[in-house]
Homo-oligomer: A and B are copies of this chain.
Amino acid sequence: MMLPEDELIGLLARVAGHSSGITVGIGDDAAVLDGGLVVATDMLVEGVHFERGRLDAAAIGARAAAANLSDLAAMGAEPICLLAALGLPEGFGEVEALSAGVASYGVPLAGGDLSRAPVLTVAVTAVGRAERPVLRSGGRPGDLLIVTGELGAQVVSGYTRRVTPRLVEGAALAEVATAMLDLSDGIAEDVPRLAAASGTGAVVYLADLPRAAGATIEHAACGGEDYELLAALPPDADVPGFATVVGCLTDEPGVRLLDASGTHRDLHGWDHFR
C-alpha cells in the first residue's frame, strides 16, 4: 500500500536526517547547504504528471524546469544552473526540444544524463543560492498569508499553461517573509503544510483567493501546479503589489478554509499518490 506523499516525505526525512554541512534537509521546498547553496529536485513522469499528446517536448522540459525553479523561488534563492536526467522511451526523437524547454527560462542547463525508460521521465535538479533562505517553518500566529499571481489557471488550462516561476517575487518576499512555499498541490493542501511546519493553525478566506479567468473557488483552492508562492508576512509588513492577502496564521491549531458565509469547506488539493 502506498502512503500519502507527506508521510512518504516524512519517511525519507527520517532516513536522511540532518547532517553537518546541511542547514535544511528533506521536507522543505529545497535543501539548504552551508554557504547558502540551495538545491531542489523533481521528477515528472508521463502518464502521471503529463500526457505527451497534450504537451509537446519543449513544454514538458519547461514544466520540469519550472517546478524546480519554483522551489528555489520559494526559498528566496537565485538560480545558478539546472541538471536534467532524462528517461527516454523507444523511438523518442525530441531530446533537443526537451532540453531546450528545460533551458527556456534562461537558467543554464549544466549537466545531464540520458537513459532508456518505458515512459518519458524528466528529473530536473536546480542549484541556486540564497542570502537569507526562507523556510516553511518560520510562520507565527498573526502573520498574514499572501499569494502571488492568480490561482487555478493550470487546472482551467487542462494543465497545459506555461508556468512562470516566481523568482523575482520570491527574492523580494525573502526580505520580509517568515515562511514560504510554492503552491504545487493547491492551497487546500499547501496551507496545512506551511501551518504544520510553522506549528500554527491557519485561516484562509476562500472568497479572497485571486482567481484566474474561468476558475471557480474549487479550482483556485484545489488545482495543482499553479507554482504561485504562498508566504507568511508579519502583520505590520508592507504587502507587495504583486501579492494578495488570503488569510492568516493562528494560535488555534487546524486549518479552516472559510467561505463567504464563514463556513469551513472540506477541500483537498492534489496528491500524486492518491
In the assembled complex, which residues on chain B have CB atoms less than 8 Å from the CB atom of A92? Answer: 2
**Shortest beta-carbon distance from A116 to chain B in Å:** 5
| Cα(A40)–Cα(B47), bound, Å | 27
| Cα(A115)–Cα(B81), bound, Å | 23
Report which of B39, B48, B83 forms a contact with A110, defined as CB distance below 8 A.
Answer: B39
**Shortest beta-carbon distance from A136 to chain B in Å:** 14
Beta-carbon contact of A95 and B11 below 8 Å: yes
- A interface, size bucket: 35 or more
Q: Is A42 an interface residue (CB 8 A)?
A: yes
In the assembled complex, which residues on chain B have CB atoms less than 8 Å from the CB atom of A115? Answer: 43-45, 48-49, 272
In the assembled complex, which residues on chain B have CB atoms less than 8 Å from the CB atom of A112? Answer: 9, 12, 16, 26, 41
**Which residues of A in the span 88-130 have a Cβ within 8 Å of any Cβ on B?**
88, 90-93, 95-96, 99-100, 103, 108-119, 121, 123, 125, 127
Beta-carbon contact of B127 and A12 below 8 Å: no
Beta-carbon contact of A111 and B15 below 8 Å: no
Q: Is A176 an interface residue (CB 8 A)?
A: no
Beta-carbon contact of B11 and A43 below 8 Å: no
Interface stretch, picked from A29-37, A186-194, A225-233, is A29-37
Q: Is A273 an interface residue (CB 8 A)?
A: yes
Beta-carbon contact of B116 and A21 below 8 Å: no
Query: Which A residues have a C-beta under 8 Å from some C-beta of B?
Result: 1-3, 5, 8-9, 11-12, 14-19, 21-22, 25-26, 30-31, 33, 37, 39-45, 47-49, 80-81, 83-88, 90-93, 95-96, 99-100, 103, 108-119, 121, 123, 125, 127, 272-273
Closest 10 CB pairs of A and B: A123-B123, A19-B108, A31-B110, A31-B111, A43-B85, A16-B109, A15-B99, A125-B125, A41-B83, A85-B123
5 contacts between A and B (CB under 8 A): A11-B95, A16-B99, A41-B85, A43-B85, A43-B123
